Amino acid sequence: MPPRMVSDQESAPERSTDHPRVTWRWARSIVLAVMLFLVVRTFVVEAFKIPTSSMEGTLLVGDYLLVNKAVYGPAVPFTSLKLPAWREPSRGEVVVFHPPHDPENNYVKRVVGVPGDTLEMKEKTLFVNGREMQEDYVRHIDRSGDATHTNMRWQRNHLLAESAPTGGFSGSRYGRPVSGEGASSFEDRSRSGYRPSRDNWGPILVPEGSYFVLGDNRDNSEDSRYWGFVNRGSIRGQPWRLYFSFDSSDQRAGNGLRAIRWERVGQPVR
């Protein structure tokens, strides 16, 4: 007996019953993928782009970063809560944060001062707790001078009393009595006499719950020198790796591929 032929009309109802099942499986997979993406982006890793040259020497304009948000404790959306942090930001680490004067945007700088630190800069050289820092990552490009900045006057309320001629810092806040041999009370000195500049300022004390950040391109960076300390709750994460880098100024022969900095892709951020 010859095999029975099945017409398209007979098989159509069976195929039609499979369509809703296949559609549901696809929709469920897409929803789960989106949910997983949102969880990872919110609590683990997020991508950021470098828009300015303030970290040049370490990060370039057009670098795209993967940022570890879990390390410092990610924020829970639509609440004021944060998940537990693995650890606190350390001196020398590059961080992504919301600055106090522009809380809607993300900035990338390097932490140079943690709570309780004494900071001072003398002729471009940074001193932390009285010790000169060796900052191999810093870039200096401006030799034109060092004018004072009125928007650095916020530092007056955090100035420290100078120590005796033997050196070292007293560790007390400006304008308050200072204990210790040979220390000056500073009561006879007016805060209005403080004239900070880009390359010369301090010594100042980093308060609890705050951090002091600077750009590696030190002569061309707006940072904590000008707009103040970064609150701990405003630090979003630590850059981990570069996943892409594009030099928009390099469009040789109209070939965009040549503008990709292939040698930077996959590099860690230090």
Q: Would you state the structure tokens that stand for residue 39, as one six-digit string?
A: 């969880």
Q: What is the DSSP letter of 194?
A: -
Helix (H, G, I), strand (E, B) or coil at 213: strand
Residue 198, Cβ density class (10 Å: 0-12 exposed, 13-18 middle, ≥19 buried): buried
Helices (H) and strands (E) in the chain, counts: 2, 11
Phi-psi region of 138 (alpha: psi -120 to 50; beta: other; left: phi over 0): beta
- Contact between 77 and 131 under an 8 Å Cβ cutoff? The reply is no
Buried/exposed 162-175: b ≥16 CB within 10 Å, e otherwise: ebeeeeebbbbbbb
Cβ atoms of 72 and 237 closer than 8 Å: yes
Helix (H) or strand (E) holding 64: strand 63-68
Which residues are CB-contacts of 51 (< 8 A; sequence separation ≥ 6)? 61
What residue ranges in 84-199 does DSSP mark as E strands? 94-97, 107-113, 118-122, 125-128, 131-132
Q: Among all residues, which ones are annotated catalytic?
A: 54, 109
